[in-house]
Amino acid sequence: MTPGDDSALYINRDLSWLEFNARVLDQALDRRVPLLERVKFVAIFGSNLDEFFMIRVSGLHEQLESGVPATAPDGLSVAEQLARIRERTAALTQTAASLLRGELTDELARAGIRIVGYGALTRGQREWAGSYFRRSVFPVLTPLAVDPAHPFPFLSNLSLSLAVEAADPQTGERRFVRIKVPESLPRFVRVEGADDDFLPLEELIAAHLSDLVPGTDILGCHPFRVTRDMDIDILEDEASDLLSLVDHKIRQRRFGAVVRLEVSPKLPPRVRAMLTEKLQIDEEDVYEFDGLLGLSGLFALAQLPRPDLRDPPLASTPPKEWDAADPFARVAQRDVLLRHPHDSFAVVVDLLRRAAEDPDVLAIKMTLYRAGSDSEVVRTLIRAAENGKQVAVLLELKARFDEATNIGWARALERAGAHVFFGMAGLKIHGKLLLIVRREGRRDGRGDGRGEGPVLRRYVHAATGNYNAATARLYTDLALVTADDAIGEDACDVFNMLSGFSRQTAFRKLVVAPLALRRTVVAKIDEQADRARAGGEGRVFAKMNSLVDAQVIRALYAASQAGVTIDLVIRGICCLRPGVPGVSERIRVRSLLGRFLEHERIYAFGPAGQDDIYIASADWMPRNLDRRVELMVPVVDDRLRERIRRECMRPLETHDGAIHELDASGAYRRLAPEAIAPRAAATPPPGAAAAAV
């Protein structure tokens, strides 16, 4: 079997993603996980699945409708992919429904938290519920009938609705009425007289339909939910004014085609047929769910203030080597590594705040991808601009589902006097980079013509994760803070490339996509293959979110055949098939899931102690390597390199969450603690050294 020539060597990207979401659901099934954390994982599972349909499944539908033949690297046609997605999704959602309806509900009840139906309320509680409904819910609702005078209403993305059938008691004529469950109200209503009893809002509404459609006979009421195509396509020739264009596109997005209809199994066939007809979808796009629709709503319950049912709080602190009194002096002496959330993200905000207030800081330049709706980082940049600093911000308008937030920040920064610029239509700016230019000291013989002048020092913060304080508490990410001259010059060149008409193609230490990242990664893998063929020890370690790129996968297959030991830690999608005889026997793929989202990208090439270690913003996916501006940064300080090995590479054997290993069939199995052991150094295959000669 030759790598790259046989589709059997590749795992389908979208099916691999579904297996990742299955591992998320596995965390909810694990009784060793604290109870409300299990509820949180069900909510994450549902939220992930929503986005998968909004982006990936909608894209497959567009391919199918275009009529252009398309085959994935694994050989599946678009129709085959959609069929397998439906089959796997149905199985996973059935598992989630059974868990939520059974074991998880029972466990919550034993802990004093009950999700109750209206029928379980006492008489007094029903009186209170009726009063609450009339006071706080009824005024918000608008029943929409469907008849010759009332067309079928627009259903917004991810909106939960009630399909009500009502009949005129005199004529017997049936009417369909749609009632939207308002998103502006709590999904779970706390029942009066029971601190932790919660009534789903849709059940409260369903119990009071006579107030909404008085004088009719209610024949049935069933929840349903739609998912729409929410992807934004921006063509190169459209981007004359990117900010206005993206603003227009996100307004259009709400009208995307429906790609999924979720319904109760009890929904009558006639109503189901009417919905599929009006929404213009096939029966194959209808998914039954026997339970609460919209699992992401469970985040509200997962956040209940019950510390006894949650993970113990993590005390994030600054790293020991950080000097809060004078961070610039500390970084000027030696590089600092930040590992979030264990190292507090407040360090980054404080560094920015000091730069904004320091009279010796002349300029601050920064990339922002997902800053968040309540961003102290952006507010600090605004203060810096108001203080007269030269502030330049590359703000990525096309960060999916954060477009509107970023447009708002762009306008606020511009009003403060900052220079704001955006990525091109064909490229997303995904690299995480902060550059602070500071005037320091004096040096004889240079500068102002009087024999001395200031020295301008560049401070750089390069990270694997976003400048977002909220996600920095939930995601594991790394950042390098350095005053290295070469990296500082590279950072200047990167910003000039992004803001101007630069044709920069080479950098000193930074590896930049789409210019050189793919080429560098493949070359580093090939170097290890050459080392193994020559009789040495070749090793590759890579930790990332997703591995999809076929060229990189082929390089890894070739390195495995040459005798290189390859450890891949891939949280999400993995299209590489490990353990294939003669192809990938030396490749091990594991996935870590636990309390925090394993988000950092770490790449190491060579045996421990001799390895080149990088941190990066990029996964090994075509979009990262070819269609985004990404950064890979070398870590050269031996002390920091050892910390990365100790805390991020070796914990494969000590990780306190779930570790799953991928086999050649494409299936993941959860490893028992005794099955997790360090890998011994590999020996080259027989004849490798001779072949190299």
The answer for residues whose C-beta is within 8 angstroms of residue 529's C-beta and 6 or more apart is 538, 555, 558, 559, 562, 563, 564
Tell me phi and psi for residue 432, to 5 degrees: -110, 110
Contact 284, 82 (CB under 8 A): yes
In sequence order, the 6+-apart residues with CB closer than 8 A to the CB of 52 are 14, 17, 18, 21
d(CA 458, CA 88): 51
The contacts of residue 465 (CB under 8 Å, 6+ apart) are 340, 432, 471, 472, 475, 477, 478, 479, 599, 600
* Residue indicated by tokens 């596995």: 26
* Tokens of residue 504, six digits: 């920069």
Question: Coil, strand or helix: which one is 443?
Answer: strand
Instruction: Count how many residues are written for the chain.
Output: 693
Measured CA to CA, the distance from residue 300 to residue 185 in angstroms comes to 12
Angle, CA 495 vertex, CA 494 and CA 499 arms, to 5°: 125
Report CA Rg, the chain. Answer: 28
What is the tally of helices (H) and strands (E) in the chain?
21, 27
Q: Give me 468's structure tokens.
A: 């977002």
Query: Annotated catalytic residue: which of 430, 461, 599, 660?
Result: 430
CA pair distance 126, 297, nearest whole angstrom: 23
Element (H, E) at 486: helix 485-499
3-class SS at 65? Answer: helix
Residue type, 665: S
In this structure, what token pair is assigned to residue 515?
Answer: 């210019």
What does residue 554 show for φ and ψ, rounded to 5 degrees?
-65, -40
Task: Tell me how far apart the alpha carbons of residues 489 and 236 are, in angstroms, rounded to a whole number.
Answer: 30
Active site residue 430: yes
Contact 234/425 with Cβ under 8 angstroms?
A: yes
**Bridge-partner residues for 568, per DSSP?**
542, 589
d(CA 654, CA 665): 26
Q: Name the nearest CA neighbour of 52 among 99, 18, 84.
A: 18
Q: How many Cα atoms within 13 Å fall on the side-chain side of residue 108? A: 24
Q: Which alpha helices (H) appear in 30-122, and where do they start and end?
A: 35-52, 58-66, 78-99, 105-110
Contact 496, 488 (CB under 8 A): no
Q: Are strands 419-421 and 286-288 parallel, antiparallel or unpaired?
A: unpaired
CA distance linking residue 198 with residue 207, whole number of Å: 15
- Cβ atoms 155, 175 nearer than 8 A: no
Structure tokens of 608? 């421990």
* Residues recognised as catalytic: 430
